[in-house]
Amino acid sequence: MKPHVIFHPVISSIQKIALYETKARFYLMGSNNTQTRFRVLKIDRMEPRELSVVDDKVEYTKDEIRNLVTMIDVGNRRVGQKSSSNGVSRIVSAFGIVGFVKFLEGYYLILVTKRRRVAVIGHHTIYKIEDTTMIYIPNDGVRICHPDEARYVKMFQNIDLSSNFYFSYSYDITHTLQNNMSQSSCIHVDDGSSKCPKECIYCENNIQSIPKENGKVERTDYGVRFEPNRRFVWNSHLLTPIEDHLHPDWILYVTHGFVGQSNMCTFGRSVYVTIIARRSSKYAGTRFLKRGANFDGDVANEVETEQMVHDSGISSLHEGRFSSFVQLRGSIPAQWSQDTSKMVPKPAIGFDLSDPFAETAGKTLFLFFE
C-alpha cells in the first residue's frame, strides 16, 4: 500500500526585516513573525558600481543574532570611541525585499515598510503593499556621482508601489486555487532521509513521515515551493541580481492587480468571497496606448480574475470547502493600434501589420494552453 502523500506550501521564515548600517556594509536581519528563526544578508557598501550580496544560508536563534549585532557594533567602533557610541545603527524595519535597481550610479535597495492584510485563504494571508523605501547602497565616500541620476530616480519613484501591489509569504497569488491545491509535479521517494532526492530548489528539507505500528509509512508530508507564474510577477527585473543566489525565504514575488475579500452569511453559514485580479506584466500598458499583441503572443491589458468562495469556519486549504471561477480577458490578439493624438472619444482602429496566417493569435493560444 502506497503512503498517503500531502503537499504543503512552505511558509517563508522571513516576514520581518531589520536593516543595520555600518560604513562598510548593510546587514539585513530577517526573522519569522515570532522571531525564533533568523537569517542574515550582508551587502557591501564599498563597491560603487557592482552589487555584492552575501547569504551564508545559516539559520540563527535570537540569542545568536543579538550576539552577532553586538560583535558587529564592537568591531566597527573607532579606536578610543566611547562604549556608549554605536559602531552599527538600525535604520529601518521592513516586511520584505522588493528587489534591487541600478541607474547611472550604484544600486538601490527597495524594501516594503508598511503592509496591510487584505485576505485570508485557509491559513494563508495576502497582504497589500502600503509603503516602501528606497535606500542607496554605496557609501558616500566611494560614490561616483552622475548628473542625470536624480532624474532617473524621480522617474522610477513615480511608480507608486503602494497602489494595488500584493504579496503573500505562503500562498502563491500568481496561480489559481486549482493550481495551488493540485499535487506537485516533483514526486519524491521517501528513503528515510530529510533531503529531496532530486535536489529540487522548490522543496524544503522538512519532509516528515508518520509511521504505522508495523513500521510502514502511513503519511508523508512535503513542504513545497511552487515556481510562480512569471506572467503575473511584477518585480522579476528587480530580483534578477539576487534570485539565483539567495535562500528562497528572502525572495518575495509581487503581483499587480486587485485583491478583495468579504465575509458573508449564507443560510446561517459564514463564507468568504474573495476576488483576485492579476495583471500580466507582459506587454502591459495603459488603455488605448497598448492594444493588440506583440510578436510573442502577449496581449495588452491581460487580466486573470478569480472569484473564490470558501467556508470561513475551516482554516485549512486542504480540509476546507472551496469554489473558484476564473476568467481571462485581454486585447484582441492581432497587430492593431489606435491613434490617440486627435483626442476623440473613439479613436480609429489601424492594423499595423498584415497577418494572413494568424501567427500572432496562434502564439497567444499556445501561451494560454501552455
The structural domains of the chain, with segments of one domain joined by +, span 282-369
- Residue 39 contacts residue 15 (beta carbons within 8 Å): no
Taking CA atoms, 144 is separated from 10, 47, 89, 147, 265, in Å, by 41, 10, 24, 10, 61
Predicted TM-score (pTM) of the model is 0.84
Give the least confident one: 205-209, 216-220, 239-243, 295-299: 205-209
Query: Percentage of residues in the chain with pLDDT exceeding 90?
Result: 50
Which SS3 state, helix, strand or coil, does residue 310 take?
A: strand
Beta bridge partners of 304: 278, 328
Q: Report the distance separating Cα 53 and Cα 137, nearest Å.
A: 11
| Residue 353: CB atoms within 10 Å | 10
- Cell of residue 282, nine digits: 507582459
Classify burial at 126, counting beta carbons within 10 Å of its beta carbon; exposed 0-12, middle 13-18, buried 19 or more: buried
The CA-to-CA distance between both ends of the chain, in Å, stands at 34
Q: 185-203 pLDDT, tens per residue?
A: 444 444 444 444 444 444 4
Residue 325's DSSP bridge partners are: 307
Q: Which three cell numbers stand for residue 128?
A: 497589500
Res 172: pLDDT = 92
pLDDT for position 4: 63
What is the C-alpha separation between 162 and 119, in angstroms, rounded? 17
Question: How do residues 224-242 score in pLDDT, each as one tens digit?
Answer: 777 899 999 999 999 999 9
Report the C-alpha gap between 115 and 128 in whole angstroms. Answer: 6
